Amino acid sequence: MQYKRILLKLSGEALMGERQYGIDPKRLAEYAEEIKEVVDTGVEVAIVIGGGNIFRGLAGQSNGMDRVQGDHMGMLATIINGLALQAALEDKGLETRLQSAIKINEVAEPFIRRRAMRHLEKGRVVIFGGGTGNPYFTTDSAAVLRAIEVEADVILKGTRVDGIYTSDPEKDKTATKFDKISFTDVLNKGLKVMDTTAFTLSQENELPIVVFDMNKKGNLLKIVSGENIGTVVNL
Ligand code: UDP
């Protein structure tokens, strides 16, 4: 296997499947199956899940809500998604733990780095909910932060597109895909991989990012097996 410990970042929107809002149980079950295939190889899997399918702080702000209030709602949304993903993974027979960045002890363990690492060593899938626990951050930042903290080898960012392109392939038909690209080139070319805070944190800590299409069956397993899927961002 190419990696021993991975951090998988899934956006909340990915969980919507064909829906406009919320969680599509079919999509959730498909993701759980993909994740199980990887866990079965012995690779340790941590997951950070977004909340955009339920609520984003910025959307609240544009409707006149206080930003921090909205961000708190967004963080809670990530915990709802985390619970849903946990249930789907357990349905496949996997052992899991949900750790939250905000205290919600009846529902999820608090985030404790050493405990998270112990769970991973034991082959449990650890889902990190609640983002970073702070407003004004994103779950991409949470993903990078947690990946560094638990010493993951890589961040796998599952998206709807199969990598990083010269421009948005959903809008520009002439766009071409990079197989690999450096952090510096992403910045110089003004490409969008993650928000700047998350991206810089990854760069500074030399944590590679793989951007790939999570909706293509088997992709996740192929990446951890060392196949060239998606785009790798590295030094
Ligand atoms: N959020 C936050 N702090 C964090 C992570 C998330 O306040 O550390 C809030 C923020 O309002 C964000 C929402 O949670 O809009 C959902 O997260 P995100 O937008 O990253 O989800 P995704 O786009 O991955 O679905």
**Domains of the chain by residue range:** 5-171+183-190+200-234
Q: Say which residue the tokens 């809670």 belong to.
A: 76
Candidates 55, 73, 75, 192: which one to mutate for ligand 1, based on the most atoms within 8 Å of Cβ? Answer: 75
Q: Nearest to residue 155, comparing CAs of 90, 199, 107, 108?
A: 199
110 is in an annotated binding site: no
pLDDT tens readout for residues 176-198: 999 999 999 999 999 999 999 99
156 CB within 6 A, ligand 1: no
Average pLDDT, the chain: 97
pLDDT at 170: 85
pLDDT at 160: 87
Distance CA 155, CA 153 (A): 7
Average pLDDT over every residue of 149-154: 98
211 CB within 6 A, ligand 1: no
Whether 142 contacts 9, CB under 8 Å: no
Angle at 222 between CA 91 and CA 197, to 5 degrees: 85
Question: Which amino acid does the sequence have at 211?
Answer: V
Q: Which pTM value belongs to this model? A: 0.97
Choices 3.40.50.2300, 3.40.50.1100, 3.40.1160.10, 3.10.129.10: CATH for 5-171+183-190+200-234: 3.40.1160.10
Residue 138's φ and ψ, nearest 5 degrees, are -120, 170
**Strand partners for 177:** 165
